[in-house]
Amino acid sequence: MKLISNLFIPILVLIVILYAAKKKVNVYDSFVEGAKEGLPMALNMFPPLLAMIFGINIFTSSGLIDDVFGFLKPLFYMIHVPLEILPVAVMRPLSGSFGLALLNDMYELYGPDSFLSILSSVIQGSSDTTLYIITLYFGTIGIKKIKYALWAGLLADLATVILSIIIVPLFF
């Protein structure tokens, strides 16, 4: 299996080159043209990406997350939802990498087979990085009216958290 995964990309590139040769397309010139078109796109992506990273760092470094979770603790205790999953549920829409780091912490603290780790894994796997997508992709192509996309994405993320909290206990 490792051999197949190691050879997959080179074989795919070879197939593209052979197909291009059959169609009499200059592969090198096409690649250079594509790179020329991609460079401005990469430069357009940089400011929204930098702004998002900066905002996430401010949000996480401020300690606001701990204050909000402390405020919500009685509510979550009352409805029998483990408070430990909140960091994963809240940070996943902001940053996939930070969500994975929190999930890794859950594995280290509670073990990968614990209920909390499984619940956090389901939340991580079923939700999306909504704010990242909107910031990066919408910002790159210049879409300014993001209200409905933002609400739809965050509502979908909330639905995945709620459904995970309902469904995971049925199976684990």
The answer as to whether 166 is a domain residue is yes
The answer as to whether 55 is a domain residue is yes
The answer as to whether 96 is a domain residue is yes
Average pLDDT (61-67) is 77
Number of compact structural domains in the chain: 1
The answer as to whether 15 is a domain residue is no
Q: Determine the 3-state secondary structure of 79 from DSSP.
A: coil
Q: CA–CA separation, 153 vs 150, rounded Å?
A: 5
The answer as to whether 8 is a domain residue is no
Q: What is the mean pLDDT of the chain?
A: 85
The answer as to whether 116 is a domain residue is yes
The answer as to whether 139 is a domain residue is yes
Query: What's the pTM?
Result: 0.66
The answer as to whether 128 is a domain residue is yes
Instruction: Please name which of 111, 129, 118, 140 lies closest in space to residue 42, comparing C-alpha atoms.
Output: 140
Q: What is the pLDDT of residue 152?
A: 93
The most confident of the ranges 69-73, 88-92, 110-114, 128-132 is 110-114
Q: What is the pLDDT of residue 113?
A: 92
CB 136 within 8 A of CB 128: no
Q: CA–CA separation, 87 vs 141, rounded Å?
A: 31
pLDDT in tens, 96-149: 888 888 888 889 999 999 999 999 999 999 988 888 888 778 877 888 888 899
Q: CA–CA separation, 164 vs 143, rounded Å?
A: 32
CB 27 within 8 A of CB 33: no
Domain containing 57 equals 42-171
